[in-house]
Amino acid sequence: MNAAGGQIGFGGRRAKREVIDVPEPKVQDQSLDKLLKVRKQRIDRLERERREMREAWRKSRADLNGRKQGWRDAVQAYKDFWQEARENFYRMSTTSGQFRKAKAIYERMKGDAAQLRLECLEDVARCRKGRTKFFEAKQRVLQAHRQQEKLGMLRDELRKLTTLNEM
């Protein structure tokens, strides 16, 4: 007969099978792996910030060096100008009016150089702040790497213990 009649195959009823008790594999806890993944993303972000801080610090140092060179050139220019004006006056090739005019130009050049010096000092402060930010970012990256390593070791130990307990 067919399925409607109740018989299947070569006659007779199908034997009842004994249920075998097979333990289902335990699902491993993935929360530590997820935490490690999130921490890895955090480390990537911190490293990117550290690189940006380093580049900003390098740029500020380059700006400072350029500004210092401009200040040095300005100082040398006003010294050379004043020396030449004095030599011309002592050789009596310039009048006292021309000398007073040269002295006014010298004073103005000296004031401009002093202003450049103040700007250099401001750049030094910015450069120091950039340095501080970079080293703080570097420290954060190192701490994050240490935490990541500790979590990785903890995960490995937990896996080892669970495999030992399952045996």
Kindly state whether residue 5 falls inside one of the protein's structural domains.
no
Kindly state whether residue 91 falls inside one of the protein's structural domains.
yes
pLDDT of residue 21: 77
Report the Cα 78 to chain-centroid distance in Å: 42
Report the Cα 69 to chain-centroid distance in Å: 29
8 A C-beta contact, residue 36 and residue 152:
yes
Kindly state whether residue 13 falls inside one of the protein's structural domains.
no
pLDDT of residue 18: 76
Kindly state whether residue 16 falls inside one of the protein's structural domains.
no
pLDDT of residue 17: 77
pLDDT of residue 103: 94
pLDDT of residue 23: 72
Residue-level length of the chain: 167
pLDDT of residue 162: 84
User: Model's pTM, two decimal places?
Assistant: 0.68
Q: At what angle do helices 31-90 and 96-166 cross, to 10 degrees?
A: 170
Number of domains into which the chain is organized: 1
Kindly state whether residue 14 falls inside one of the protein's structural domains.
no
Kindly state whether residue 159 falls inside one of the protein's structural domains.
yes
Kindly state whether residue 66 falls inside one of the protein's structural domains.
yes
Question: Which CATH number is 92's domain given?
Answer: 1.10.287.1700
Look up the domain containing 151 and give its range.
Answer: 31-166
8 A C-beta contact, residue 127 and residue 68:
no
Average pLDDT per block of 10 residues along the chain, 167 residues long = 54 72 75 91 97 97 96 97 93 90 96 96 96 97 96 91 80
8 A C-beta contact, residue 130 and residue 57:
yes
pLDDT of residue 130: 96
pLDDT of residue 145: 96
Kindly state whether residue 55 falls inside one of the protein's structural domains.
yes
